[in-house]
Amino acid sequence: MSWIGNVIAAVGAYKAGKYNKELFDRQAALNRNAMERKKAVYNKIEKPRLLKQQKAAYSDFFVNLLRSGAEFRPGTTTFFVTQEFKVNQATDLAIADYNLTTDLTNMENQSLLLEAKGDQAMMQGVLTAASEGAKAYAGAQKNKRDTGSLLG
């Protein structure tokens, strides 16, 4: 009669594996949603704010440059300083874009790892169910052979 316990264990193992897979898949989906929110916040709020700050900083810089009375034309120190200022601003923006891309890649990788854990949990459930099913079958056959009845 112990084979009935094996059947119950097989069903339980399969259900547990399926539940765990669904749980990991939901966690991965939540990560992807967070990734999309982060991307939207950057593109709609953070990047425009950074560009606005850079524009204001450049305006202040340029007004101060003109107030200094220094001549501003190509080939002069003031021109090169202005170019360096613009390059630094472009570098800051490129770094912010790179950081976003890196963060999004890390979040996607975490989602993929969670899905893989879910697949592993499901496979573990299926293999345990198969093992318990085989034990149940062997136990039932033994009972039938020994007593003539599956119930023993």
At residue 20, φ and ψ (nearest 5 deg) are -65, -40
At residue 148, φ and ψ (nearest 5 deg) are 85, 0
The predicted model scores a pTM of 0.75
Per-residue confidence of the chain (152 residues) as pLDDT tens digits? Answer: 588 889 999 999 999 999 999 999 999 999 999 999 999 999 999 999 999 999 999 999 999 988 888 887 888 888 899 999 999 999 999 999 999 999 999 999 999 999 999 999 999 999 999 999 999 999 889 888 888 887 76
C-alpha–C-alpha distance, residues 3 and 152, integer Å: 10
C-alpha–C-alpha distance, residues 126 and 10, integer Å: 8
Contact between 78 and 71 under an 8 Å Cβ cutoff? The reply is yes
Nearest alpha carbon to residue 87 among 49, 48, 61: 61
